[in-house]
Structure 1
Amino acid sequence: MEPEEAGTEVDLPRAERAMREFLTAVGVDLAAQGMEETPARAAQLYADLFAGLHEGTGELWTDVMTEETDGLIAVRSISFHSICEHHLLPFFGTAHIVYRPHAGRVAGFGVFTRLVDRMARRPQIQERLTSDIAGEIERGLGAEGVLVVVDAQQLCMTMRGARAHGTRTTTSACRGVFREDKVMELQAWQLLGEWNDGRENISLP
């Protein structure tokens, strides 16, 4: 599904019935004290975790501003949580974005936090999430260059398999002039690092 598309609404009664059947099948006693409402609670939880399946992203770009700037803009440390599509376990962390505006087209910093949240609220893998965020900024803003870096902890790595506690994964996606011009790409990476000096949202002339 393309990032800007929205899906159908959630059928909560059906989800609750399916959750009840699933929990019973794996041996959970739903008659035990405290478990009676678990299927309904779990169905509502996953409806919220997957809300991004039913929300488009097009309206996020309806309030774009035009400013006299051609510098790089960074929005750092955007917290997110998502669900890995392989085992339905959470992964969570932070996303960092750098973009070079085209013709001065910029968006408020809150647009990027909403974009990351919306695209994370669907069954995902970290690599696709990173790429989709970059592609959506490139498409929605017409940005000349986009760099997105996502750093996350994957519970499927810590709760199962190798049980690699404390392991983090970092992915990146580079678009436009940042891919074509190595000097500009280096500037974008530097903006995410040592030039930040403690500020989360900054611009570089």
Structure 2
Amino acid sequence: MNTTDKLEVAVYQLLEALGENPEREGLVDTPKRVAKMFREMSAGLGKDPKDEFTAVFSEGHEEVVLVKDIEFHSMCEHHLVPFFGKAHVAYIPQEGKVTGLSKLARAVEVASKRPQLQERLTAQVADALQDALNPQGVFVMVEAEHMCMAMRGIKKPGAKTVTTVARGLYQEDPILRREILSMIKD
């Protein structure tokens, strides 16, 4: 049985366990649709965000590079429901070594497409950038709303969770850290 079949069977059985009839008109294709959704939401499994940094250039630029408001969707590994928001990724190149701007967004995409924790997602993006470019500093901030908090449990829709990871100069220099936070908030 392939993974798709296993997913479809699991969803079919889940519907039955909930007391639904998976054969009724509105649900007959639901196992297939949910299996497709889970494959999409898990497309980053087995991939390393660091591998996204394939375009590296020597440009002589050693000032801040920041890509803000990178939208992402992920899945809480504790409840298998979505969390979503924006990532902000910054680095200070070392020896002028920069990467394509889209690569920063691609790293966020790969790290987010798996059952995930926001704290780990933030660290994986920062570590991938640090490993790939060895910049002077890396700063990643992720702001997200978690459906596991909005739809169940505490039921607080609109609450945002913010996580940050700082490496290199951003970890060591509070002035640089305040500067990047100010740039992200503008």
- What is residue 9 of structure 2 aligned with on the other side? 17
Consecutive unaligned residues of structure 1, counting only runs of 5 or more, are 1-9, 195-205
TM-score by length of 1: 0.85
Q: What is the rounded CA distance, in whole Å, between the counterparts of 1:76 and 1:83 in structure 2? A: 21
Contact 1:49–1:82 under 8 Å retained in 2: yes
C-alpha separation in 1, matches of 2:66 and 2:54: 20
Task: Name the SS of the counterpart of 1:53 in structure 2.
Answer: coil
Cα distance in structure 1, aligned partners of 2:49 and 2:148 = 28
Decide whether the 8 Å contact of 1:72 with 1:101 is kept in 2. Answer: yes
Determine whether 1:130 maps to 2:136. no
Distance 1:148 1:177 in 2: 13
The answer to which of 10-19 and 112-121 deviates more is 10-19
Q: Is the 8 A contact 2:92 2:138 kept in 1?
A: yes
Aligned residue in 1 for 2:78 = 86
Q: Check conservation: 2:49, 2:108, Cα contact below 8 A.
A: no
TM-score (norm 2): 0.94
The reply on whether 1:33 has 2:30 as its aligned counterpart is: no
Deviations 1:68-92 (A, max 9, x none): 1111111000000000011111100
Segments ≥4 residues shifted beyond 2 Å: 54-59
In structure 2, list runs of 5 or more residues that go unmatched: none
Matching of residue 47 in structure 1 with residue 39 in structure 2: yes
Would you say 1:153 and 2:145 are equivalent positions? Answer: yes
Match of 1:182 in 2: 174
Residue type of the alignment partner of 1:39: P
Question: Helix, strand or coil for the counterpart of 2:44?
Answer: helix
Provide the C-alpha distance between the structure 2 equivalents of 1:61 and 1:117, rounded to a whole number of angstroms.
13
Q: Which amino acid aligns with 1:73?
A: V
